[in-house]
Amino acid sequence: MRPLSEEISLPVRFFTPKEANDLLPKVAPELLQAAEKVKELRSLFDSIKNEAERTAKTEVVERLREQILEHVERIQAQGVEVKGVDQGLLDFPALFRGERVYLCWQTGETKVSHYHPIASGYAGRKPIESFEAGWEWRN
């Protein structure tokens, strides 16, 4: 069984805002399903009262972990980075005026409408002023 923290090495794909938004209907449901499985897993952990119960539920725990990982892998296979299943954060690698950035989306948003420099993370989110000018496509 692979650990959830295991990284998957894929070539970097750069998205334009339009490409990220076109892909969102495919990857957002995967993230939401992974988040539901995380909730199930937490609930299961909270219900365990002793070592015997923990041992008895090992198979269920492993199945849930695998399901979470499968959802995350399907997102990553599209070139999208999962920054937080709990927070519902997805980052789409992009090039903006020659700089590597992330187009970012969070659960509850209707479209990918923000970006941030790689180093600043979520705290550096800025609205996308133009969905056309300055974005480079390279795959």
**How large is the C-alpha radius of gyration of the chain?**
17
What is the tens place of the pLDDT at every residue in 128-138?
986 566 666 55
In a domain, 50, yes or no: yes
pTM value is 0.82
In a domain, 72, yes or no: yes
Full residue range of the structural domain in which residue 115 is found: 13-139
Tokens standing for residue 5: 């923290």
Determine the 3-state secondary structure of 114 from DSSP. strand
Low-confidence stretches of the chain (pLDDT beneath 70): 1-11, 130-139
In a domain, 5, yes or no: no
In a domain, 128, yes or no: yes
Tokens standing for residue 14: 């750069």
In a domain, 7, yes or no: no
In a domain, 58, yes or no: yes
pLDDT in the model for residue 130:
66
Residue with tokens 């969070």: 106
pLDDT in the model for residue 122:
87
| Nearest residue to 78 (alpha-carbon basis) of 22, 5, 1, 116 | 22
pLDDT in the model for residue 89:
96
Can you tell me the distance from the alpha carbon of 69 to that of 71, in angstroms, rounded to the nearest whole number?
5
Structural domains in the chain (count)? 1
Residue pair 105/89 in contact by the 8 Å Cβ criterion: yes
In a domain, 137, yes or no: yes
pLDDT in the model for residue 7:
52
In a domain, 25, yes or no: yes
